[in-house]
Amino acid sequence: MNSSLSADSFGLDASKLPRHIAIIMDGNGRWAEKRLMNRIKGHEAGSEAVRTTVRTCREIGIPVLTLYAFSTENWQRPKIEISALMTLLKKFLDSEQKEMMDNDIRLNAIGQIEKLPAKVRNALTKTKDLTANNKGMILNLALSYGGRTEIVDMVKIISRMAKDGKVDPGLITEEFVVNYLYTAGMPDPDLIIRTSGEMRISNFLLWQIAYSEIFITDTLWPDFSREELIQIILDFQNRERRFGNVY
């Protein structure tokens, strides 16, 4: 990575950068099918797009990048595809550790991590520990993630606290409950991107995207480039965000 790059070098306004970009990476299967290839080849090509996107966000100066890499619904896919995705995830974590250390990137994972195979959990723990003190950017992988499950998990924690007399239900606020979401401590996404043209949220960050700007591109995830990401951020910088107010 070229550490001398910054938002300005990409023609972006450094004072109006999204603090958090979240991406629904869709279209790996269609990318492969169009080329008469196995779907797994599409996921492999998708991993390359992940590398490019992480690098670009770091160079621009985006503080948090969340990637929807595996949803709770994805467990219903054929075993062979799940297994290939898990192998790709492990490979990604192992091969990117040096890049994360060199570029001050901290890895985090959100979702029901305990459901992942041991080889992925171990690689996650190792990479999270190794990068724990990095401050340049958080790379947040949503794995075995579902937005509704996240909210149910939050309700379970808070109701247990209420039962034990540790919180007064009358005093529960939005500011309080966010501390019990998987994303506690992170800003909400300012920008959510979905590739491959589908107009759906697919159970992604349901609480956190209340005021996010949404950008849907027809590009299939493996074709998602650095140039397109920069164009989308430029578009974001030109939008007027009102948060329900009038200006």
**From the CB of 143, what's the least distance to ligand FPP, in Å?**
8
Q: Find the binding residues for ligand FPP in span 99-128 (CB under 6 A).
A: none
Which of 170-174's residues contact partners 24+ apart within 8 Å by CB, and which partners?
none
Q: Can you give the length of the chain in residues?
A: 247
Q: Find the binding residues for ligand FPP in span 122-161 (CB under 6 A).
A: 141
Name the closest residue to ligand FPP (Cβ).
Answer: 29
Q: Which one of 7, 40, 69, 124 is in contact with ligand FPP (CB under 6 A)?
A: 69
Distance in angstroms (rounded) separating the CA atoms of residues 83 and 91: 12
Considering beta carbons, is residue 127 or 183 the nearer one to ligand FPP?
Answer: 127
Is residue 57 part of the contact set for ligand FPP (CB under 6 A)? no
Distance in angstroms (rounded) separating the CA atoms of residues 67 and 151: 19
Residues 20 and 108 sit within 8 Å (Cβ to Cβ) = no
Considering beta carbons, is residue 30 or 121 the nearer one to ligand FPP?
Answer: 30
Per-residue tokens: 140: 């947040």
**From the CB of 117, what's the least distance to ligand FPP, in Å?**
14
Residue where the block lists tokens 């966000």:
57
SS3 assignment, position 42: helix
The residue type found at 231 is Q
Per-residue tokens: 202: 């697919």
The residue type found at 181 is L
Q: Kindly write out the interface string for residues 189-218 of this chain, putting x where it contacts ligand FPP by CB under 6 A and - elsewhere.
A: -------x----------------------
The active-site residue, picked from 26, 108, 188, 190, is 26
Is residue 92 part of the contact set for ligand FPP (CB under 6 A)? yes
Considering beta carbons, is residue 196 or 219 the nearer one to ligand FPP?
Answer: 196
Is residue 89 part of the contact set for ligand FPP (CB under 6 A)? yes
Distance in angstroms (rounded) separating the CA atoms of residues 192 and 163: 36
SS3 assignment, position 20: strand
Using CB under 6 A as the binding criterion, the count of chain residues that bind ligand FPP stands at 19
Q: Which one of 7, 10, 22, 28 is in contact with ligand FPP (CB under 6 A)?
A: 28
- With a CB cutoff of 8 Å and minimum separation 6, the contacts of 226 are 52, 53, 55, 56
Could you list the active site residues?
26, 74
**Chain residues that interact with ligand FPP, rule: CB under 6 A:** 25-30, 43, 46-47, 50, 67, 69, 74, 88-89, 92, 141, 196, 221
